């Protein structure tokens, strides 16, 4: 196997949220509503079989979660090790669905994962190549990395290369809006791959605001939710401190409420740097800020510090809470 790839961790490059840049220095890709995954494809030695190791964006080994991606292993017959960066996507009909992916992304038992793969298969959408045939490619410009990636081919149903658009960003964005997809990513063709960095060389454009938040507690429900978890109390890090961003309860099913309540570890004081205020009749419980949730929302309100119309999309086990910042 290629030296070092068996145990190596590469934190993925991330983009910043900004308006669409327009020039011949930029290319445009769909932003897939999935889970960021790095695939390490390793050639076997001394009669051993080729291996595929999967890593989440926070460095966790998630190989067991997506057994169908072992179909990448034959690539190691052609190259002595490669590392692919992309997004694992599940579909609801013809549309990518993060909700559908929730049934796959938290599974660690190999038998359970194999069973779920039969019912809810995933597609690995690859958009970058970080290592090839014993050599890192991260210092090459994106245009060169892309050319190498396209030479690998994508002839298996479990994975594909993300389509790249050279122009007409506005047309692509309108198609995203019309199809109710997540957004687009603009990428500078001259940019190197910058592991672990949120870089201005990649720009995320989302028609509807959405991002990850850290869960710092929960409030009790009312009406039909009395006595149970009603809303998550969420925030983001800035300057090493956790700032409160609001409550989010819409989108939580009865099952979600029970699962979140079981996950959250109670603590005494608030984890937020400034004490939030709540209605006098609201029961609030603080928790350790160890869980991350993805939320869609309408806008920032009340001086730009609180969410309006938030909707819970799902848990993000692939995100390190300490890296969660305000994106817009």
CA distance 137 to 2: 14
Sign of CA dihedral 97, 98, 99, 100: positive
179 vs 271, more confident: 271
CB-count exposure of residue 24 (10 Å: 0-12, 13-18, 19+) = exposed
289 vs 221, more confident: 289
Enumerate the domain spans of the chain.
14-203, 209-323
pLDDT band at residue 178 under the 50/70/90 scheme: confident
Residue 26: CB atoms within 10 Å: 21
Adjacency order of strands within the sheet including 241-248: 241-248, 229-238, 209-220, 284-297, 311-315
Superfamily of domain 209-323: Nucleic acid-binding proteins (2.40.50.140)
pLDDT in tens, 94-116: 899 998 999 999 899 999 999 99
How confident is the model at residue 167, as a pLDDT? 84
Nearest alpha-carbon partner for 125 in 159, 156, 151:
159
Cβ neighbors of 236 (< 8 A, separation 6 or more) are 213, 214, 242, 243, 245, 324, 325, 326
CA distance 183 to 311: 17
How confident is the model at residue 143, as a pLDDT? 97
pLDDT in tens, 197-215: 999 999 999 887 889 999 9
Architecture label for domain 14-203: 2-Layer Sandwich (3.30)
pLDDT band at residue 59 under the 50/70/90 scheme: very high
How confident is the model at residue 1, as a pLDDT? 44
pLDDT in tens, 238-256: 999 999 999 999 999 889 9
Residues tagged active-site: 31
For strand 123-132 and strand 159-161, is the pairing parallel, antiparallel, or unpaired? Answer: parallel
Percent of the chain with pLDDT over 90: 71
Residue 129 CA: distances (Å) to CA of 104, 161, 193: 25, 10, 9
Q: What is the pTM of this model?
A: 0.78
Q: What is the mean pLDDT of the chain?
A: 91
pLDDT in tens, 37-50: 999 999 988 778 99
Nearest alpha-carbon partner for 308 in 250, 238, 242, 255:
250
138-147's contacts with Cβ under 8 Å and 24+ in sequence apart are 138/192, 138/193, 138/194, 138/195, 139/192, 139/193, 140/192, 141/189, 141/190, 141/191, 141/192, 142/27, 142/187, 142/188, 142/189, 142/190, 142/191, 142/192, 142/193, 142/201, 143/189, 143/190, 145/193
């Amino acid at each position: 196997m290629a030296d070092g790839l068996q145990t190596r961790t590469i934190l993925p490059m991330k983009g910043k949220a900004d308006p669409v840049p327009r020039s011949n220095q930029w290319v445009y890709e769909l932003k897939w509503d999935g889970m960021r995954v790095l695939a390490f494809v390793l050639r076997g030695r001394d009669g051993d079989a080729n291996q595929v190791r999967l890593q989440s964006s926070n460095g966790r080994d998630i190989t067991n979660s997506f057994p169908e991606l072992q179909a990448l292993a034959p690539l190691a017959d052609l190259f002595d090790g490669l590392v692919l960066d992309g997004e694992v996507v599940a579909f609801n009909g013809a549309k990518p669905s993060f909700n559908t992916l929730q049934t796959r992304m938290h599974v660690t038992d190999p038998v359970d994962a194999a069973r779920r793969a039969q019912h809810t298969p995933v597609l690995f959408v690859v958009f970058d190549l970080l290592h090839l045939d014993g050599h890192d490619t991260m210092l090459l410009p994106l245009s060169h990395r892309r050319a190498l990636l396209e030479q690998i081919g994508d002839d298996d149903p479990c994975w594909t290369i993300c389509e790249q658009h050279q122009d007409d960003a506005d047309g692509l964005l309108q198609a995203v809006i019309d199809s109710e997809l997540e957004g687009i990513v603009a990428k500078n063709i001259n940019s190197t791959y910058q592991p672990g960095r949120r870089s201005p060389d990649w720009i995320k454009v989302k028609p509807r605001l959405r991002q990850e938040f850290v869960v710092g507690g929960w409030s009790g429900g009312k009406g039909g939710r009395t006595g149970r978890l009603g809303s998550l109390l969420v925030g983001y890090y800035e300057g090493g401190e956790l700032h409160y961003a609001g409550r989010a309860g819409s989108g939580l099913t009865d099952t979600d409420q029970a699962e979140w309540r079981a996950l959250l570890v109670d603590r005494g004081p608030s984890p937020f740097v400034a004490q939030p205020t709540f209605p006098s009749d609201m029961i609030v419980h603080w928790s350790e800020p160890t869980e991350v949730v993805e939320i869609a929302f309408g806008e920032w309100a009340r001086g730009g510090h609180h969410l309006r119309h938030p909707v819970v999309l799902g848990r993000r086990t692939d995100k390190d809470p300490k890296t969660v910042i305000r994106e817009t």
